[in-house]
Amino acid sequence: MPRGVLLGEPETLGLVPYERRPGEACLVMTRHPETGGAVAAAMRWGLPTTTDPRRRILQIHVEQLRGRRQARRARCLVPVDGYAQLGVRRTRFRVKVTVGMSLAIAAVWTDGPGGPRFAIVTTEANELLAPIHGRMPVLLPAGMWSRWIADAPLTPTDLAILEKPAPPAWLSARAIRAEPPPDSQRSVRQQLAEWAPGCTLWEPRRQEEPSPLSPKPAELPLAPGGGPG
């Protein structure tokens, strides 16, 4: 069984399409700090805060990346073919990718004693989703994945592109009339096979448990068709 990067070594991760809950372990893709290649990892949704350990930062605005502090954060990708959005009057909507292309949500992450955690990056909603909510995730096609997870700083041109919402033609949205089923998880093996074929989960060195003998992870190619369809 592939091993994860979280303390406790999860056997399951949050379901890739639609349902992710704060604090839940999810499959992400990020840059390996030694090889520079892309690797899959398990991280929990919600960055820790210094003022209140119970509070988590679930999202940051893409406009904040123009600031020096946020721009220094490590970056990762959350592969999706859809997501759930809470809209007006507490109505839940299912936003689905309708084009035959791989998309991933831009995200930032940090590591710490409690394990790696991420927050998604949002921008202003496009014309389709604006009546539902004022913000939407920054959705990146496969051709932009390498640039997002690269170690190099984002340029003003990069940020201008990221701030543009995904075209409405890429997505559809409909209200969810019923609650999602309680079993909203897939095994690590299933998710790796679907979203990162041939790739193992990366395990960075833990501050409290250094692991210099960890096996070298397989790299995940960043090419169209390498992620969700």
Q: CATH no. for residue 35?
A: 3.90.1680.10
- Is position 19 within any domain? yes
**pLDDT (tens digit, 9 = 90+) per residue, 182-224?**
445 667 777 777 777 666 677 655 444 433 333 444 444 444 3
Question: pLDDT at position 149, please?
Answer: 92
Question: pLDDT at position 203, please?
Answer: 67
Question: pLDDT at position 63, please?
Answer: 94
- Helix, strand and coil content of the chain, in percent to the nearest 5, comes to 15, 35, 50
- Is position 153 within any domain? yes
Domain assignment of residue 20, given as a range: 12-80+104-124+137-165+183-195
Instruction: Tell me how far apart the 2 most distant CA atoms of the chain are, in Å.
Output: 52
**DSSP-assigned beta bridge partners for residue 106:** 77
- If residue 177 lies in a helix (H) or strand (E), which one and from where to where? none
Residue 43 to residues 5, 6, 52, Cα–Cα distance (Å): 7, 7, 20
Around Cβ 2, how many Cβ atoms within 10 Å? 19
Question: pLDDT at position 94, please?
Answer: 87
Nearest to 44 by CA among 95, 10, 17: 10
Tell me if 6 sits within 8 A of 115, measured CB to CB. yes
pTM of the shown model: 0.79
Around Cβ 127, how many Cβ atoms within 10 Å? 9
Residue 18 to residues 132, 188, 219, Cα–Cα distance (Å): 16, 17, 26
Quote the number of domains for the chain. 1
- Is position 72 within any domain? yes
- Is position 64 within any domain? yes
Give the whole-angstrom CA distance, residue 43 versus residue 78.
Answer: 10
- Is position 170 within any domain? no
- Is position 73 within any domain? yes
- Is position 93 within any domain? no
Residues of the chain with pLDDT under 70: 1-20, 53, 178-186, 197-200, 203-229
Question: pLDDT at position 11, please?
Answer: 52
Strand boundaries in 98-222, DSSP class E? 103-110, 117-124, 135-137, 139-141, 171-175, 185-187
Question: pLDDT at position 160, please?
Answer: 94
Question: pLDDT at position 205, please?
Answer: 53
Give the whole-angstrom CA distance, residue 194 versus residue 16.
Answer: 10
- Is position 176 within any domain? no
Q: Per the structure block, which two tokens stand in for 125?
A: 């909603």
Tell me if 94 sits within 8 A of 219, measured CB to CB. no
Question: pLDDT at position 102, please?
Answer: 83
